[in-house]
Amino acid sequence: MEESLHADEVVHAMASLVRSSFGPLGAETLLFCPPEPPILTSSGYTILHYADMTKSHIAHPMKSFLMQKVRAVYRDMGDGVSQYLLLLDLILQRIEISRVWSTAFATAKSSIGPLFHATFDTSTIRTAVIFDAFHEAARAIVTTALTGLFNPSVVAFLADLTVDWMFKSVAASFHHLLPTTPADLHVYLDHIQRHANDTLFQLSMGPLDASRITRRHEYL
């Protein structure tokens, strides 16, 4: 058999030896009339003899690792190594199918984005974001979320504190003007959401309104 550097091909070749030991229809025999273990007298010896004759497992670390496992199973189970190889071959075939699908999906995902923008970007209507209006909208959202939990004066204070803190953090984190376009606004909000868990801290002492969301490199 042709030597291969891939473990799945080596396992498939060894599993083919087990199937072919039952004749031209060995695979069908194993599928419809599986014999009791051990499935074939001296089949384990045949498989190990094939590996020793090729010496191909020495040329690749994965083959060496595979042969160590096969020999360990053979020492413990004898011809039971045949079932081990058949199961291993089946598992690797399933993994290969999943790998091919994942690779194809990742390729399609990476190409869909640029294709979408190239197709529809020219027909996009761009509208500038009025920062003051967004600021008021954010305050209204926070106020609505807190209404009923505290009295009106506390709700107003927390809404102002939260919104002012958020926009001040954005400006300090990016070191330039606050967002004026939808794209800039998306980047800023994405930054806050993505890093909030590990970069948000509060000052136990001192003025709370002096705290802000910092970038990781500022304190690590």
Which of 16-20, 55-59, 116-120 shows the lowest mean pLDDT across its residues?
A: 55-59
Domain assignment present for 45:
yes
Domain assignment present for 159:
yes
Burial 69-78 (b: 16+ CB within 10 A, else e): ebeebbeeeb
The verdict on 80 and 162 lying in the same domain is no
The verdict on 139 and 79 lying in the same domain is no
Q: Which of 42, 72, 97 is the last residue of a domain?
A: 97
For residue 78, the model assigns a pLDDT of 72
Q: Cα 49–11–55 angle (5° rounding)?
A: 40
Domain assignment present for 120:
no
For residue 148, the model assigns a pLDDT of 80
The verdict on 89 and 152 lying in the same domain is no
Residues 6+ positions from 96 with CB-CB distance below 8 Å: 8
In total, how many domains does the chain have?
2
Banded model confidence at residue 116, pLDDT cuts 50, 70, 90: confident
Mean pLDDT of 66-95: 77
- Residue range 159-205, pLDDT digits in tens: 877 777 766 655 555 555 555 666 666 666 666 556 554 544 443 43
The verdict on 152 and 92 lying in the same domain is no
Domain assignment present for 146:
yes
The verdict on 73 and 142 lying in the same domain is no
Domain assignment present for 145:
yes
The verdict on 211 and 155 lying in the same domain is yes
Domain assignment present for 155:
yes
The region that residue 124 occupies, defined by phi over 0 for left and psi between -120 and 50 for alpha, beta otherwise, is beta
Q: Which of 49, 77, 97 is the last residue of a domain?
A: 97
Amino acid at 143: T
Residue 207, preceding peptide bond in cis (omega within 30° of 0): no
The verdict on 78 and 158 lying in the same domain is no
Banded model confidence at residue 73, pLDDT cuts 50, 70, 90: confident
Calculate the CA 21 to chain-centre distance. 41
The verdict on 19 and 81 lying in the same domain is yes
The verdict on 169 and 91 lying in the same domain is no
Which of 2-6, 30-34, 69-73, 153-157 shows the lowest mean pLDDT across its residues?
A: 2-6
The verdict on 91 and 143 lying in the same domain is no
101 vs 79, residue with greater confidence:
101
Mean pLDDT of 124-133: 63
The verdict on 209 and 163 lying in the same domain is yes
220 vs 107, residue with greater confidence:
107
Domain assignment present for 123:
no
Banded model confidence at residue 2, pLDDT cuts 50, 70, 90: very low
For residue 200, the model assigns a pLDDT of 43
| 3-class state of residue 147 by DSSP | strand
Domain assignment present for 115:
no
Give the chain's mean pLDDT.
Answer: 67
Domain of residue 58: give its range: 7-97
The verdict on 142 and 206 lying in the same domain is yes
